[in-house]
Amino acid sequence: MAAAVLSASGRRLLCTVARPAGSSELPVPIDHLRSLVRAGRLADIDAALAPHVTSHSVAAISALSSLGLPDRASVLLGTLRSPTAAHLNGLLAPLLRRRRLVGLVPSLPEAHPRDAATEAIHAKALCVASGAESAIHLLQRTSPPPSIQLFTSIIDSYYKQRQPHRAEQLWRQMVDEHGIIPDVPAHNVRITYKATSGTVEEVKELIRAMREDAGLRPDVVSYNGLMRAMARHGRVDEMLDVYRSLEEGSTAAAEADKLAPDCATYTCVVAALCKAGRWSEADDVFYEAMKRSKVADLGTVRTLVRGLRDAGKGRAARRVVVGLRKKFPARFDGPWKELEELAGLTGNEQDDDVEGDDDEQATPPPMSA
């Protein structure tokens, strides 16, 4: 049985989102730690984190795990006098994004406190490594009883494996036998599946039922699913209407309500506009994302740059790459550097070097009277 697959995070420029300072915010920039990993300076990583372990222990463990250093994260966890489930989750959750490490999740510390999120992480790791069926035994535990997070993880994996009947069977078991009321993430796994395999009307009906029947407020994940369905069926203008409704509400209040566009939103919209050959609109949406320190995934940006270039908008293509390089200097490496060659850049240009209209599409000066 094919295992469930997570998003290819290695091909994505990570979103940088402004968050309020607090005890969960690691004072050491993750980009600095990442550069130390690339240089093999592991002792320097330990030294950089040491002053913050007491006050930011969860964030420090999570950072080490995110950097692909689960052994160091596990050692740090073992030094804590009173570790909590949050500490263990900080170690485990980042491993789900690394296929070569996800198999470690079921074998990592059993002695530490666990919560519903821990069980869901464990289930997702089993699903990714061996398929959803391998995690079913976790639902048979009676103490603690299976949580909605655990059910949702396995249901989501069945959908990803294209086994909707098995997913719906498990949904009914969750509701009818365990008396669990589905929450927003649970509804979203259904919406996400229909977004990739159903009709726009089916997705709209799921959102309607979620809002009117269940009394829940759809979030940006819900509307991302609707936009993906619209894009799949070529209903680009309708997709833009949904996007604009999110963009117009992208204020501090909307952020709190989880309705502001995220990286997945911009990936969907830019990709759909590129597919429709609407390059100028795709470029505009790309810059709306950049203003919010978000960006579409690498494949979508590559399509945008190539499309702008081939459509005679060479300067616009170069501005996209220079803008990314300027906005995310520490992360603009690896496959992202290949965009420079695609756009015809040498790697040394600044914004001023690519400003102005495209030679091929330059606007003529007004006629003098």
pLDDT digits 0-9 by tens, 243-301 = 999 887 655 444 455 588 999 999 999 999 999 999 999 999 999 999 998 999 999 99
Q: What is this structure's pTM?
A: 0.81
The dihedral through the CA atoms of 184, 186, 188, 190 has a sign that is negative
C-alpha to C-alpha distance for 272 and 296, rounded to whole angstroms: 12
Domains and CATH numbers, the chain: 1-9+28-176 (1.25.40), 182-261 (no CATH), 281-359 (no CATH)
The pLDDT value given to residue 142: 78
pLDDT in tens, 325-351: 999 887 788 889 999 999 998 766 555
pLDDT mean over 75-96: 91
Query: CA-based Rg of the chain, rounded to a whole angstrom?
Result: 23
Q: Residue 361's pLDDT is what?
A: 42
More confident residue, 15 or 302: 302
CA–CA distance, 263 with 283 (Å, rounded to integer): 15
The residue-averaged pLDDT of 47-53 equals 92
| Type of residue numbered 335 | P
Question: With bands split at pLDDT 50, 70 and 90, how would you rate the model's confidence at 112?
Answer: confident
Q: Which pLDDT score, from 0 to 100, does residue 23 have?
A: 42
**Does the pLDDT value for residue 149 go beyond 50?**
yes
